[in-house]
Amino acid sequence: GLERFRIEVGHKHGVKPGNIVGAIANEAEIESEYIGRIEIFDDYSTVDLPEGMPREVFKHLKAVWVSGHRLQISRDKPSESSVRRRPSTANAGGGKKLGERPSARAGVRRRPAK
């Protein structure tokens, strides 16, 4: 299974998912296929990693630098996950508001699909 970790780099540090995967894969020698979901927020990110990470690996990752900042990795506390702010990506909500209709030109009908 996977366990969620918090790292102290986010959008305001210019980090991208590939930076996080690269740092963890290279420094912790965890293959990228074992790195799970990454969510990037303004000032921190969360990443799912295999459960039972050895203490030495965990300790080493605390000192790894990404986008000019230390990861400072820690186990994400359940209370943080349950009241987590939304990711700060522009399309985090899918881009549509409730009740918003698909954009179509007035009076123009589409041909039925065959």
Full set of structural domains in the chain with CATH: 2-82 (3.30.70.330)
pLDDT at 5 over 80: yes
The answer, as to whether pTM is greater than 0.75, is: no
Using the predicted structure, report yes or no on whether residue 97 has a pLDDT greater than 50: no
C-alpha pair distances (Å), 85 with each of 16, 44, 68, 79, 82? 18, 11, 24, 12, 9
Residue 91 in this model has a pLDDT that exceeds 80: no
HSE toward the beta carbon, residue 48, CA cutoff 13 A? 10
SS3 content of the chain, % helix, strand, coil (to 5): 25, 20, 55
The tokens describing 32, both together, are 């990228």
